[in-house]
Amino acid sequence: MKIIHNVADLPRNLTGSVGFVPTMGAFHEGHLALMRRAKAENDHCVVSLFVNPKQFGANEDFGRYPRDLTADAAMAEAAGADFLFAPTREDVYPTDLVDVVVRGVTDRWEGAHRPGHFAGVATVVLKLFNLVRPDLAYFGQKDLQQCQVIRQMVDGLNVPVRLVIHPTIRDADGLAMSSRNRYLSEEHRAKAPLLYASLTEAANAIRSGSSVASEEESGRSKLEQAGFLVEYFAAVSLPGMDPLIDLPGKESTSAIIVAAKIGTTRLIDNVSL
């Protein structure tokens, strides 16, 4: 695996398809699953590692976000990455005068709770697409709204890449893997699986005919009783991320999404309905 720090050193004229996995590092099995799949489905696997300052709010964890290039490089190589692109901030943002703004799908949920977050995500992902020029790009369903935002960007700007969404990888107790899980104290880590448990419980109840509103309410209150600060617990229709009133027909897709803080750690998760 080749580690690349400068845009000028990115490979050009590779023969065969390029599968691309954009990341912010602190790798876990979720990232590695995307890399293995990108490698299996393409001739070349390019992984980017860039903690993108533009997608963090002023009071968020940019400064303390886990960074360990040596450990990450070893894991990416073992997962089959051919290139690890870890650019500097100056290389990615020699100027910062252009933003990619996706409207509509960003209005609620993460978009509402993290103002500017999705403009930061869309901007860096489009820049990375233009630098890496992948045929296929791999994203995790764990960040469901992010997937919809990138889909809208790709469709809306005719970006020549195919998106692949990979299912969420979880710890044995159901907790969705996340780089932020390492912030959790032992006590909070023990409570964290309740997020996924409450999502699956609500999804099952809605599928069995219970009302969306009552399951949203009981999911939220179960989490609050356990000490979570719930930002949202909501059923949404896809791809627009609009609030879901009733379980739609089989032809439409929907999900239940949650964002909650336990202590100072903010976690998100979702399950398909």
Shortest separation between residue 245's beta carbon and ligand AMP, angstroms: 27
Tell me the β-bridge partners of 267. 260
Q: If we measure between CA atoms, which residue out of 60, 74, 76 comes closest to residue 23?
A: 76
Shortest separation between residue 1's beta carbon and ligand AMP, angstroms: 18
- Closer residue to ligand AMP, CB minimum distance, 65 or 210: 65
Phi and psi at 122, nearest 5°, equal -60, -40
Shortest separation between residue 47's beta carbon and ligand AMP, angstroms: 9
Binding site for ligand AMP (CB under 6 A): 23-24, 30-31, 34, 139-140, 142-143, 166, 168-169, 176-179
113 part of the active site: no
Catalytic one among 5, 28, 31, 166? 31
Residues sharing a CB contact under 8 Å with residue 102, sequence separation 6 or more, in sequence order? 118, 119, 122, 149, 152, 153, 156
- Closer residue to ligand AMP, CB minimum distance, 30 or 80: 30
Shortest separation between residue 163's beta carbon and ligand AMP, angstroms: 10
Shortest separation between residue 11's beta carbon and ligand AMP, angstroms: 21
Rounded distance between C-alpha atoms, residue 116 and residue 122, angstroms:
10
Which tokens belong to 218?
């009981």
Query: Per residue in 242-252, is it b (16+ CB within 10 Å) or e — as a string?
Result: eebeebeeeee
Rounded distance between C-alpha atoms, residue 137 and residue 164, angstroms:
6
- Closer residue to ligand AMP, CB minimum distance, 247 or 256: 256
- Closer residue to ligand AMP, CB minimum distance, 177 or 184: 177
Residues sharing a CB contact under 8 Å with residue 231, sequence separation 6 or more, in sequence order? 113, 259, 260, 261, 266
Which amino acid, residue 190? A
Q: Are strands 83-85 and 242-243 parallel, antiparallel or unpaired?
A: unpaired
- Closer residue to ligand AMP, CB minimum distance, 147 or 273: 147
**CA dist 179 → 61, 107, 136, 202, 265 (Å):** 12, 25, 24, 26, 11
Q: Mind telling me the catalytic residues?
A: 31
